[in-house]
Amino acid sequence: MFGRIYIYKLKELARNRYLVGWNFLFPIILATAFYMGFGNMIAEDPDTFKAIDVGYVNTGDIDTSFTLMLDELSKENDDHEKILNVLEYPSKEEALKDLKGEDGLYGIYVDDNGDVETIVPFNGYKTTTLNQIVREYENKVTLIENIAKDHPDKLESSMEMISGDLKVLKEHEFGNNTSQYLQYFFALIAMASLFSSWISTAMLEGMCANLTERGKRFECSPASKLLSIAAGILAGLTLQAVSNAIVVVYVEYILKINLGAPLLNIIFLTTLGSGLGISAGVLMGSLIRNERLLVVVPLAFTMTCSFCSGLMWHQIRQLIEANFPILNKINPAALLVDCLYTRAAYGKTDIYYQDIYIMSGMIAGCLIISAFLLRRRKYVSL
């Protein structure tokens, strides 16, 4: 029974033209408008880290541990970005001919059997990065030598620990795109997720006897109300999750806007946002008894939350955080934007998980209250 209701509800919602238009087409159109307005500012953001072109000269006959470290740093991360572009040269003199600073080869590593010399022509964060890589390498080599000398029995475990530490640079990706304009796309995704509240209210129109004739027939049917609503919620979540995934893929691969996090991670977060919009819509549908308000209230709710999350002005969320931070913690759109931005800029930090826990708690709370209200709804007659 559950599967049959789920399929029927999925077909019913997919055939609703205004839901398909607003939940799927409108976000794509708005994303295209954003791209035409300031997409180039994201792609050419001067604050965005770009892989450093560095020359490498190995004067020895074999690869050293520094060679292996450079290989690790020149691999692409989950966002198809890397820290270094390593160009090998047969001699130091050949490499110096291509040393052009910002417009070409930025630095040179000369590896003499593990003794590394760094050559850079300018000061800047790239110079700091190149020097820090060598400094970390030398610290690790010194540590290994001391362990081998004083505690040779612990050398193997120490090597494993140090090898794991070398991945820190990759895990906290230098190349994350944290342009201020990227927040508009995060706010767009949050708005699309909250549009799913319309799906819930549209679904409940056909399940409440005080709203439609279909609702009267449903109330009189022997089907379990809880089972039917759960199937409808799952159908709506499926539709909105697929819609959001298509929008994310469109932004990433068609518009070529790097959202700064692995695709599957972003889709997971947008699916969580869809669940939040669905549950909020169910709560609205259980409280509202006017058919017209079932359209007006979700729209007002979505646009108000989206405005406060930075859809129209990206600094509004920061202003709210500075003056009234609790509002950002109860605004579902702001939570989703903050979660996406934190994941893109800083990785899976405590704030990232905190936002996920709060959104999950909101979903559970909305569904519990809605179940209580719908369960107790009675009619004098049908």
- Cβ atoms 19, 198 nearer than 8 A: yes
pLDDT tens, residue by residue, 51-90: 788 888 888 767 777 787 788 777 766 555 677 888 888 8
Retrieve residue 344's tokens.
């893109």
User: H or E stretch including 109?
Assistant: strand 107-112
Architecture of domain 52-171 in CATH?
A: 3-Layer(aba) Sandwich (3.40)
Measured over the CA atoms of residue 154, residue 159, residue 162 and residue 167, the dihedral's sign is negative
Q: What is the DSSP letter of 338?
A: H
Is-above-0.75 flag for pTM?
A: no
- Sorted by where each begins, the domain ranges of the chain are 2-44+177-375, 52-171
Q: Decide if pLDDT at 175 tops 50.
A: no
pLDDT tens, residue by residue, 196-246: 888 888 777 766 655 556 666 666 666 667 788 888 889 889 999 999 999
User: Which DSSP string corresponds to 202-264?
Assistant: HHHHTT-TTT-HHHHHHHHSSS-HHHHHHHHHHHHHHHHHHHHHHHHHIIIIIS----SS-HH
The residue behind tokens 């946002």 is 273
Which of 50, 46, 52 has the alpha carbon at shortest distance from 120?
Answer: 52
What lies within 8 Å, CB to CB, of 292 at 6+ separation is none
* Dist. CA 276–CA 362, nearest whole Å: 7
Query: Is residue 61 exposed (0-12), middle (13-18) or buried (19+ Cβ within 10 Å)?
Result: exposed
